[in-house]
Structure 1
Amino acid sequence: MKNLIYSICIIAVVSFSSCSQKIYNSTANVQQLINTDQFTFLAERANPTNFDVINVMNSFPGAGSQRFLTLDYGYVITLKDKELKVDLPYFGRMYTPNFDSTKNNFNFTSKDFTLNKTQNKKGDWEYKMVTNDQPSQITINISVFSNGKSYANLISNDRQSISYDGYIMKNKEITK
């Protein structure tokens, strides 16, 4: 009986120690990216706010919506020198959809946008970017935590809002 209790305690300790906070980037690297305002937000998961989408995904047999919303590598928001590039999928209700389905995602480059950056009481950074050169005004809110984990929320005039979980990293250098 004692061996059973000891083994249960060991399993509990090992399982709780594996739930520690994941480090996506060092604090110094995150601070450097924040200071330069040049980084790439890499989305790992999409979180739609439309319950119709969530209900459809939950209706598939044998799987919940959590598995379907994990994104492949490459969906990003890139902030560079006076340029904002967004390439993210969209799941939700659109009020003015396009017949070309490739144009229904968030896939654009903006050179005319406003950028506001604030730091909250906990030391995390909040970015607010509003595009001025897109057919519909898009507001992008990105919360950056000290370990590099980030949360992005996109709000548009022509569709319901959607959020993404991910992390920030250094922009990739383009060599010619």
Structure 2
Amino acid sequence: MKQILFNSLSVFCIALLSACGGQTNETDNTDQKNVTLNDNGETTNTNNLNPLHNTHDQYKMKSQMEKLDFSEIDLEVTYEEQKEYEAEINYDNSGFIGGEVDDDINNEHLRGKAAFDSIYQKAKNLTISKDTNKRDVIDQVLKSFDLPADYIKFDLEIIFNDGTSLEYVD
């Protein structure tokens, strides 16, 4: 009985190892291009699809965010003719920081570090605190992000470093 169990377990382990052993040491170069054009002719950043490969970038982005008064920002501004500007810096479930920009006004769509860099350059000029009134927040954001003031809807959510979350909707 022990011999049959041992042989069955050995065959199972060999089958498991051979199934997992089909990996090669070849590198997938799909991450090498930073920007591509999608079907609509819009630029899309495809860099940093897997943040695990960019630990130096993660460290740099997190240290930059520590200089701000907030840890996450989510901005959505809607204009006529179905034009929107959306920008977001946030942390995913595994603690990696990421960015995303969908700018219909300037036809720019960025992901990952390129989006983070674009948003950070604008967000570092903001002097928003929990006590800043809504009109000042909106004016600061529109100016810093170089957005037109003739929006239909403005929605900004900020999570401050102390964990307080505020939303400004107009």
Whether TM exceeds 0.5 here: the answer is no
Give the structure with the larger strand fraction. Answer: 1
Give the structure with the larger helix fraction. Answer: 2
Work out which of the two has the higher radius of gyration on C-alpha atoms and give 1 or 2: 2
